[in-house]
């Protein structure tokens, strides 16, 4: 029950629904055990003693009892569902909120399909137990309790025989739960893995089709599907083994009671109606006991779901705002790194080692280096997506750890190589960082980003609804919308992470023009592999294995003859060769 205790904060506020449901459940169970009493009176008093005048009275009473039971069952079911639905509403919101505030590194290893499975299938599994499984368990206890009391009233000997068989049934149920719970945990993991496979397949469909890997993907999914099927079959095998055993114990009880009860009737120690009523009560015990496996099944599934939900809720975020943060609505944009090193969680090699530099407000800083050299790591430390392992990162002479996170990040604008666009209107995407912005402000930002012309050419202009991840727009169009989004936020610090590497030369020219507008008066960090994107930088940092190997302006680095010069020679030599080839082809014609 530890899992349910830890999740108590989500369902206990709605306990009034639970108590209301349980009240009517107890009433319904109490009325249920009245049936055998009516049956016993009908047989012993009306039929055997031929007192037929009791039949209309008993019939009317029976109808009234059924009506009251029907109403009780309705309110019990309705309030039980209200309890479950209201509780998981709160739980689902808490999970979603937790996912928003989990640290950046959590998503480095998290799988989208697995998280989706937890927020849908696992939440619903927990809800079903709250709505139905728990009330079924209480109904079992109440109904069995009332039935045992009446059984002792009719015949204590037969009642003892009945109870003598229950320990065998309880042992079977306990062993069943011990085996079925791990089996359901494995089923949940398999389902999450299969969801992840489907999600990745749909997201990467263009890559799959371009490489002709459809059959390979079908095989991978078939493997996941087979594992899911196998684990379900293992669980079905557990059910198949234990349920016949439970039924056998119940059948043995019935045979013993039939023999002993028949003897008591023949010897005059028990009336026939009382024996019929007793057997009805036996089934009120046996049927719930037979269904105990189903209740344990529901309980086990909810436990497995609860464990997976707690794994998210228990995740700790080590990147948080301080208790008394520095509040500045607008930052100047001075950035300084003082002997900064960074080792990512679960990594042994340092991503950055003893990095030192300073960027004054309005400066343009270029970052160049091979993949994995630490360029993006520097920009992630500025926005405090990660904390430096040692050293200090400062903005406006204040360590970033002392700022309120929302305040800090609202002053930083990002334009990435692949910018995410939401399945919403173009206007909503541009105004995402400033939702209160008027349409005029959105249009002004789009014009400065060289995006207004193509947006106005769309059928619905700024109200055009984009497909998933901006489907329907070219790479350059997505980039310009992202630039407009950054312009609207008006950040003090701008980070351009390889933002033109995936577009053609004409589109790059438009984006570069938009960048010049975007960079005015802002501290800008440009990550690029093309030297043409860095020539205007006030300072270029050349990184290698997390260390700054060279620094200076474009002209200074070219003269130094180091790594930057080698890259320059390669890129401009290729460009010169292309020019010579074009000139040669022109002369040949």
pLDDT in tens, 528-549: 887 877 888 899 999 999 999 9
pLDDT at 501 exceeding the cut of 60: no
Tens of pLDDT, residue by residue over 24-71, are 988 888 888 888 888 888 887 777 777 777 778 878 887 888 888 889
Q: Where are the domains of the chain?
A: 2-313, 335-564
Write down the pLDDT at residue 514. Answer: 66
Write down the pLDDT at residue 547. Answer: 93
Write down the pLDDT at residue 583. Answer: 44
- The winner for highest mean pLDDT among 78-87, 163-172, 176-185 is 78-87
Write down the pLDDT at residue 290. Answer: 65
Mean pLDDT of 556-564: 88
Tens of pLDDT, residue by residue over 3-17, are 888 888 888 898 899
Classify residue 464 by its DSSP letter: P
CB 368 within 8 A of CB 541: yes
| % of the chain residues with pLDDT over 90 | 13
Write down the pLDDT at residue 326. Answer: 84
Write down the pLDDT at residue 509. Answer: 66
Q: Where are the alpha helices (DSSP H) in 155-213?
A: 156-203, 205-210
More confident residue, 158 or 579: 158
Rounded to whole angstroms, the Cα distance separating 428 from 484 reads 12
pLDDT at 247 exceeding the cut of 80: no
pLDDT at 584 exceeding the cut of 50: no
Mean pLDDT of 331-343: 92
- The winner for highest mean pLDDT among 272-281, 500-509, 549-558 is 549-558
Mean pLDDT of 342-350: 87
CB 523 within 8 A of CB 335: yes
More confident residue, 298 or 144: 144
CB 400 within 8 A of CB 336: no
Write down the pLDDT at residue 342. Answer: 93
Picking from 31, 285, 314, the residue whose alpha carbon sits closest to that of residue 165 is 285
What token pair was written down for 421? Answer: 């666009």
What token pair was written down for 165? Answer: 């068989």
Region of poorest pLDDT, from 206-220, 349-363, 398-412: 206-220
Rounded to whole angstroms, the Cα distance separating 209 from 477 reads 24
Region of poorest pLDDT, from 2-16, 442-456, 565-579: 565-579
Write down the pLDDT at residue 578. Answer: 44
Rounded to whole angstroms, the Cα distance separating 439 from 443 reads 6
Strand 493-497 and strand 335-342: pairing? Answer: unpaired
Asked if the domains 2-313 and 335-564 are classified in one and the same CATH topology, the answer is no
pLDDT at 589 exceeding the cut of 60: no
**Phi, psi of 390, rounded to the nearest 5 degrees:** -155, 165
Region of poorest pLDDT, from 15-29, 175-189, 284-298, 309-323: 284-298
Measured from the Cβ of residue 393, the count of other Cβ atoms closer than 10 Å reads 22
Q: Where are the alpha helices (DSSP H) in 33-111?
A: 34-41, 54-101, 106-109
pLDDT at 587 exceeding the cut of 60: no
What token pair was written down for 430? Answer: 């541009």
More confident residue, 574 or 520: 520
The DSSP-derived string for 299-346 is HHHHHHHHHHHHHHHT---S----SS-B--SS----EEEEEEEE--TT
Work out the pLDDT band at 507, boundaries 50, 70, 90: low
Work out the pLDDT band at 328, boundaries 50, 70, 90: confident
Measured from the Cβ of residue 73, the count of other Cβ atoms closer than 10 Å reads 16
CB 328 within 8 A of CB 403: yes
H or E element in which residue 540 lies: strand 539-544
Write down the pLDDT at residue 582. Answer: 43
Tens of pLDDT, residue by residue over 88-122, are 899 999 998 888 888 878 887 777 777 887 888 88
Picking from 393, 387, 331, 379, the residue whose alpha carbon sits closest to that of residue 495 is 379
Strand 412-416 and strand 335-342: pairing? Answer: unpaired
pLDDT at 452 exceeding the cut of 60: yes
Cα–Cα distances in Å, from 82 out to 119, 125, 300?
A: 19, 15, 22
Q: What share of the chain is helix, strand, coil (3-state, %, to 5)?
A: 65, 10, 20
Write down the pLDDT at residue 118. Answer: 85
| % of the chain residues with pLDDT over 70 | 90
- The winner for highest mean pLDDT among 24-28, 352-356, 513-517 is 352-356
pLDDT at 324 exceeding the cut of 60: yes
Write down the pLDDT at residue 339. Answer: 94
What token pair was written down for 7? Answer: 């999740």
The class of domain 2-313 in CATH terms is mainly alpha
Q: Across all residues in the chain, what is the average pLDDT?
A: 82
pLDDT at 430 exceeding the cut of 80: yes
pLDDT at 306 exceeding the cut of 60: yes
Work out the pLDDT band at 468, boundaries 50, 70, 90: low
Mean pLDDT of 151-177: 79
CATH number of 335-564, picked from 3.30.1360.120, 3.40.50.300, 2.40.160.20, 1.10.260.40 = 3.40.50.300
């Amino acid at each position: 029950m530890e899992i349910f205790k830890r999740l108590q904060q989500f369902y206990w506020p709605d306990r009034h629904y639970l108590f209301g449901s349980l009240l009517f459940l107890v009433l319904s169970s109490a009325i249920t055990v009245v049936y055998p009493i009516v049956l016993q009176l009908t047989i012993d008093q009306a039929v055997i003693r031929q007192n037929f005048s009791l039949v209309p009275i008993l019939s009317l009473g029976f109808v009234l009892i059924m009506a009251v039971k029907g109403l009780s069952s309705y309110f019990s079911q309705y309030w039980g569902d209200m309890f479950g639905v209201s509780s998981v509403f709160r739980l689902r919101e808490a999970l979603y909120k937790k996912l928003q505030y989990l640290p950046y590194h959590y998503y480095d290893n998290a799988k989208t399909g697995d998280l989706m499975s937890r927020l849908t299938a696992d939440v619903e599994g927990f809800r079903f137990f709250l709505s139905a499984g728990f009330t079924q368990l209480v109904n079992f206890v109440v109904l069995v309790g009332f039935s045992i009391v009446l059984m002792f009233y009719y015949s204590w000997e037969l009642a003892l025989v009945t109870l003598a068989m229950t320990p065998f049934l309880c042992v079977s149920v306990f062993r069943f739960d011990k085996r079925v719970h791990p089996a359901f945990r494995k089923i949940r993991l398999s389902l999450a893995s299969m969801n992840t496979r489907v999600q990745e397949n749909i997201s990467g469909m263009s890559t799959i089709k371009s490489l002709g890997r459809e059959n390979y993907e079908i095989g991978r999914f078939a493997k996941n599907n087979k594992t899911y099927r196998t684990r379900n079959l293992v669980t079905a095998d557990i059910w198949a083994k234990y349920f016949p055993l439970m039924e056998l114990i119940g059948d043995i009880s019935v045979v013993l009671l039939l023999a002993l009860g028949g003897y008591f009737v023949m010897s005059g120690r028990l009336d026939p109606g009382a024996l019929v009523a007793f057997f009805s009560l036996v089934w009120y015990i046996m049927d719930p006991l037979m269904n105990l496996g189903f209740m344990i099944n529901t309980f086990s599934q909810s436990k497995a779901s609860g464990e997976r939900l707690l794994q998210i809720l228990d995740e700790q975020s080590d990147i948080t705002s301080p208790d008394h943060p520095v509040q500045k609505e607008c930052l100047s944009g001075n950035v300084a790194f003082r002997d900064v090193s960074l080792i990512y969680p679960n990594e042994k090699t340092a991503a950055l080692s003893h990095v030192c530099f300073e960027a004054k407000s309005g400066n343009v800083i270029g970052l160049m280096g091979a993949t994995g050299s630490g360029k993006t790591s520097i920009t992630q430390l500025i926005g405090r997506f990660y904390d430096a392992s040692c050293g200090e990162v400062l903005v406006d002479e204040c360590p970033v750890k002392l700022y309120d996170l929302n305040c800090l990040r609202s002053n930083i604008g990002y334009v990435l190589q692949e910018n995410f666009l939401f399945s919403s209107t173009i206007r909503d995407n541009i105004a995402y960082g400033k939702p209160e912005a008027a349409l005029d402000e959105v249009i002004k930002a789009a014009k400065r980003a060289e995006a207004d012309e193509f947006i106005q050419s769309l059928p619905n202009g700024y109200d055009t609804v984009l497909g998933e991840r901006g489907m329907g727009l070219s790479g350059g169009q997505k980039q310009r919308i992202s630039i407009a989004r950054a312009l609207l936020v008006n950040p003090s610090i701008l980070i351009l992470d390889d933002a033109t590497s995936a577009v053609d030369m004409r589109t790059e020219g438009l984006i570069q023009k938009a960048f010049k507008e975007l960079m005015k008066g802002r501290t800008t960090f440009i990550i690029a592999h093309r030297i043409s994107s860095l020539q205007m930088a006030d300072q270029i940092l050349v990184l290698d294995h997390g260390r700054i190997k060279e620094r200076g302006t474009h002209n200074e680095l070219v003269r130094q003859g180091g790594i930057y010069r080698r890259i320059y020679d390669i890129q401009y030599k290729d460009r010169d060769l292309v020019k010579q080839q074009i000139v040669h082809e022109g002369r040949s014609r």
